[in-house]
Amino acid sequence: MISFQKIAEERILQAQRQGAFDNLSGAGKPLRLEDDSNIPEDMRMVCKILKNADCLPPEVEIRKEIKQVEELLSAMPSTEEKYRKIKKLNYLVMKLNEIRNVSPMFEDHQYYEKKIVERLTTRKHTVR
C-alpha cells in the first residue's frame, strides 16, 4: 500500500511540474463544499444519494405541499373551495406534526377558515 501511495504522489508531483494543473476550469474559484457535519457519519452517503436523486425527506415534501396549497388559497375566489383547501391544509399540518414528533408547544398550528380567508383576501388587495 505504501508503494502505491508513493507512486501516486510522484505522478502528481510530475504532473504539477509539467503544468498539468495550471489551466483547470474552476481555478481560483471557491469550492462548493456541503456542510454535512450535522448528519451522522453512517448516514452521510445515503443522504447524498437521496439528494442527488431529488428525493426529499417526508417533512420537507409536506412543507412544500403546504406552501403550494397556501399559494392556491391566496388566488381562490370561492369561499367553498377555500374551505376544502383549508381542510387539506389542516390535514397536512397534522401529518407534519406527527412526523416531526415534537412537543405540542413546538408544533405547527392548523389553519382556521375565517382567519385564513381574511388574511388571504387582505394580502391579495394590499400586494398591488
Do the Cβ atoms of 86 and 72 come closer than 8 Å? Answer: no
Can you read off the three cell numbers belonging to residue 124? 391579495
Can you read off the three cell numbers belonging to residue 56? 426529499
Longest dimension (CA), the chain: 75
Quickly list H helices, the chain: 2-18, 44-52, 58-75, 79-100, 113-127
What tens digit of pLDDT does each residue of 92-125 get? 888 888 877 766 656 666 666 556 666 666 655 5
What tens digit of pLDDT does each residue of 56-91 get? 778 878 888 888 888 888 787 777 788 788 888 888
Q: Where are the domains of the chain?
A: 58-127
Can you read off the three cell numbers belonging to residue 41? 457519519
Cα separation of 74 and 16, whole Å?
A: 59
Nearest to 110 by CA among 77, 128, 127, 86: 86
